[in-house]
Amino acid sequence: MAEAERSVEIVRAAVQPCYRRAMKLTGLLGGSFNPGHRGHLNVSLEALRKLGLDEVWWLVSPGNPLKDQKGMAPFEARFVSASRVARRGPIKVTAIERELDTRYTIDTLRALVRRYPRRRFLWLMGADNLAQFHRWRDWREIALMVPIAVVTRPGYHGGALTAPAMGWLRRFVRPAAEARHWTRWRLPALVLLRVPPDRISATAIRAANPRWHETVMKSFHPQAIRDGVTRKPLSGRRPFARTRNRSAH
């Protein structure tokens, strides 16, 4: 019996990598994209390369109470700005959170895992999000559901290590040199990825042009924009209720 069990384990070990690689490796980057910019693109391209991803999905959030709503552009303008930046490369901009009407990241992940069983998901976040990760609903369950890659810029790496959530996550940090093997990691698993410096930020863009969204909406026709994941036209989606109190992550 022991010999038979060992044979089964040998077969499993042989076929498991093939099974895993047959799945689409997909990074998820959530955010306001207010507006989308080159920094989002560079982070995604670095993640694609260092993690061996097939695609990165940009989840444009309908709203985030952890961010000041003053200066928050309409959803359609943010979606279009992200779509314009992500034209090149295997990056798909999606409004699927608005379609799913999920209030929390944990609910979004549950829905995506059910809807796309042939994909392996990994959550991408910046060091600034890691700093408040402990405030997200069921954040430990998120870490138990998908691997997490924290993208840090020079000077922010140390700050990521001192984030409150790292008190629990620190023991699960994996070497960056092994990032391309993330599908083999036992969860929870977190990896810190350094990316080249980039001074661009959404805050600076808004400061330079507070009415940027008006220019975007004049230059593009939202009714002609399709969701990069579902391929549904953006204009055909149920409008987001602005009066609803959307909870943090």
Inter-CA distances, 81 with 45, 102, 167, Å: 17, 22, 36
Q: What's the pLDDT band for 238 if we cut at 50, 70, 90?
A: very low
Q: What is the pTM of this model?
A: 0.83
In this prediction, residue 244 has a pLDDT band, given cuts at 50, 70 and 90, of very low
2 vs 166 pLDDT, higher one: 166
Q: Return the pLDDT at 210.
A: 81
The mean pLDDT value for 97-115 works out to 94
Q: What is the pLDDT of residue 155?
A: 61
Cβ proximity of 229 and 237 under 8 Å: no
Other Cβ atoms less than 10 A from the Cβ of 56: the count is 26
What is the per-residue pLDDT for 218?
77
Least reliable range by pLDDT among 68-72, 126-130, 237-241: 237-241
Tell me if 164 sits within 8 A of 147, measured CB to CB: no
Other beta carbons within 10 angstroms of residue 23's beta carbon come to 15
Task: Kindly tell me if the per-residue pLDDT of 204 is higher than 90.
Answer: no
**pLDDT class of 134 with cuts at 50, 70, 90:** very high
Which of 43-50's residues contact partners 24+ apart within 8 Å by CB, and which partners? 43/124, 43/126, 43/151, 43/195, 44/86, 44/89, 44/91, 44/124, 45/89, 46/151, 46/193, 46/195, 46/196, 47/124, 47/149, 47/151, 47/193, 48/89, 48/90, 50/176, 50/179, 50/180, 50/193
Distance CA 101, CA 79 (A): 16
